[in-house]
């Protein structure tokens, strides 16, 4: 009882110290999400504008995208990992919309990433300025997506750097298909099943490569990692070793990483076992999505909710993954759950307000949840933008 009273007192003290905007959004979120989905036509341009602002207002002013806009600390420094996979999003939108500014921004981001690549091909973990500055498997795989997109779009300036990063990943994987040698110092130590998302990076390098031998090697390495990851999937579809810090109750964000990696490697290799693994998880998660689109931000080993808040990044990722699975399987429950997830996340996007808030995606809903607390995250905006675009392509206007 005494400990509970202490926690309550600490929470009230913290709230008193919050900036006015943080208090305002906390009160707003306690009322729940708006009842109507604003739709992709309205939300997508706002998300793109938020990503432009993340590049313009990054505190490190280097061409990368700020990790987040915090209601407490303002704009963060640039985040190499997520800047890497934001690049393909900017290129796709730039080409589709005929927007040269987006293409210029993508190239500026790429040029910065090339500057900070280690000679052996790897990339650092964490934000610029974080310590230690060491090569990390996961971050390299995410930046590889941007290098592959740059290679497809602009060729030679990024082709060699793409092969250098992909080659480093091939060289550093263990014989059983797990990457163990270069873990991130910014998460709990141990094997990570969600590094199937690194395998997606290798698949993008294979798709971009004009060297058929290299492409085959990248794809084979990616498949080997996915087969290792599947040894940690339980019969109900849940993944062990699939979280940054709490493997017993993984974030939907890291579950989304694991699923998408499996789907993308399946798409390239056509190994049906990878699709089946993603499908098994997808069916289970679809059953946990509420009618309003809410999905708990952490899920226990029986897929039951393990958090009272939702991780909006994970909801956007899983929503996209469920639609990709629907495109393959035509299972309507996957489609419907995916659409509910994306509709929920869209309803949380501020349609007005100052730069940093308007068009941003919270880490958690409510905003004081335990993932990205009081922050609008650049990767959350990227994943929602990608998912909205795919939903419109697959199913028409939203």
pLDDT at 352 over 90: yes
Residue 19 in domain = no
Residue 21 in domain = no
Write the pLDDT tens digit of every residue in 111-153: 999 999 999 999 999 999 999 999 999 999 999 999 999 999 9
Residue 192 in domain = yes
Contact between residue 298 and residue 310 where contact means Cβ atoms under 8 Å apart: no
Write the pLDDT tens digit of every residue in 43-86: 999 999 999 999 999 999 999 999 999 999 999 999 999 999 99
pLDDT at 317 over 50: yes
pLDDT at res. 17: 83
- Token pair listed for 24: 């305002």
Please give the residue that has the higher pLDDT: either 132 or 1. 132
Range of the domain at 231: 26-395
Write the pLDDT tens digit of every residue in 168-188: 999 999 999 999 999 999 989
Confidence of residue 396 (pLDDT cuts 50, 70, 90): confident
SS3 call for 102 = helix
pLDDT at res. 11: 45
Stretch 13-17: mean pLDDT: 62
Residue 11 in domain = no
Residue 9 in domain = no
339: domain CATH number? 1.50.10.10
**How far is it, in rounded angstroms, from Cα 14 to Cα 69?**
19
pLDDT at res. 4: 36
pLDDT at res. 3: 39
pLDDT at 10 over 60: no
pLDDT at 98 over 90: yes
Other Cβ atoms within 10 Å of 185 Cβ, number:
15
H or E stretch covering 359 = none
Residue 12 in domain = no
Residue 369 in domain = yes
Write the pLDDT tens digit of every residue in 219-272: 999 999 999 999 999 999 999 999 999 999 999 999 999 999 999 999 999 999
* Count of structural domains, the chain: 1
Residue 7 in domain = no
The CA–CA distances, whole Å, from 299 to 129, 144, 250, 308 equal 33, 29, 6, 11
């Amino acid at each position: 009882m005494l400990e509970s009273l202490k926690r309550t007192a600490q929470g009230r003290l913290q709230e008193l110290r919050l900036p006015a905007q943080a208090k305002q959004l906390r009160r707003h979120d306690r009322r729940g999400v708006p009842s109507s989905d604003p739709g992709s036509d309205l939300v997508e341009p706002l998300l793109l504008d938020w990503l432009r602002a993340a590049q313009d207002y990054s505190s490190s002013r280097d061409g990368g995208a700020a990790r987040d806009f915090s209601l407490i600390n303002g704009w963060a420094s640039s985040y190499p990992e997520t800047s890497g996979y934001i690049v393909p999003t900017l290129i796709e939108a730039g080409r589709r919309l005929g927007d040269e500014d987006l293409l210029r921004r993508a190239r500026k981001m790429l040029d910065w990433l090339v500057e900070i690549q280690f000679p052996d091909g790897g990339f650092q973990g964490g934000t610029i300025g974080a310590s230690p500055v060491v090569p990390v498997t996961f971050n390299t795989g995410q930046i590889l997506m941007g290098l592959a997109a740059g290679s497809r779009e602009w060729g030679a300036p990024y082709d060699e750097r793409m092969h250098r990063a992909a080659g480093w990943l091939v060289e550093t994987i263990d014989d059983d298909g797990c990457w163990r040698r270069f873990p991130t110092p910014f998460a709990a130590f141990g094997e990570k099943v969600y590094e199937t998302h690194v395998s997606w990076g290798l698949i993008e390098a294979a798709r971009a490569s004009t060297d058929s031998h290299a492409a085959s090697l990248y794809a084979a390495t990616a498949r080997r990692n996915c087969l290792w990851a599947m040894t940690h999937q339980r019969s109900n579809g849940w993944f062990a070793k699939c979280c940054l810090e709490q493997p017993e109750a993984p974030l939907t964000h890291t579950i989304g990483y694991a699923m998408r990696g499996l789907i993308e490697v399946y798409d390239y290799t056509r190994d049906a076992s990878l699709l089946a693994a993603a499908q098994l998880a997808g069916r289970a998660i679809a059953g946990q999505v509420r009618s309003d689109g809410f999905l708990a931000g952490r899920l226990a080993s029986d897929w039951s909710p393990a958090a009272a808040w939702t991780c909006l990044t994970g909801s956007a990722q899983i929503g996209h993954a469920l639609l990709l699975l629907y495109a393959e399987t035509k299972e309507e429950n996957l489609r419907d759950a995916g659409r509910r997830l994306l509709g929920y996340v869209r309803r949380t996007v501020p349609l007005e307000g100052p730069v940093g808030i308007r068009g941003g995606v919270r880490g958690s809903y409510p905003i004081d949840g335990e993932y990205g607390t009081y922050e609008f995250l650049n990767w959350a905006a990227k994943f929602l933008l990608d998912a909205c675009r795919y939903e419109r392509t697959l199913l028409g206007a939203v």
